[in-house]
Structure 1
């Protein structure tokens, strides 16, 4: 029967892959939110909605 150690290179490689995948996913979600906010900001400019424009630009600053 094969014994696997918790700190074996294989386990470490799996953790690294998991961390990289999570970083990629988080970055993708963040970029999606930024793009969505930019589109909403463009729409507020077209609509002349200053209050919503200010609110959305503050949100964009927070996630950038």
Structure 2
């Protein structure tokens, strides 16, 4: 029974890690999208391309 409990706890830990990773990815994506929108609105082409590159790297 102890082995089953250890396995269950390990799986819970992995699920928690996946949920946290997804939340961080969503936060970073939203932050970059907001910054990209601001760069577009202000006509800052260099910042726009830099941020789009970061967003693409984040997705891969």
* Structure 2 length-normalised TM: 0.94
- The size of the alignment, in residue pairs, is 59
TM-aligned CA deviation for residue 14 of structure 1: 0.1
In angstroms, what is the RMSD of aligned CA positions?
1.2
In the TM superposition, structure 1's runs of 4+ consecutive aligned residues that sit over 3 Å from their partners are: none
Does 2:44 correspond to 1:49? yes
| Residue 63 of structure 1: aligned partner | 58
Unaligned runs of 5+ in 2: none
- Deviation string 1:13-53 (CA, Å, 9 cap, x unpaired) is 00000000000000100110000000000000000000000
Does 2:8 correspond to 1:13? yes
| Residue 29 of structure 1: aligned partner | 24
* Structure 1 length-normalised TM: 0.88
How far apart are the structure 1 equivalents of 2:34 and 2:43?
Answer: 14
Unaligned runs of 5+ in 1: none
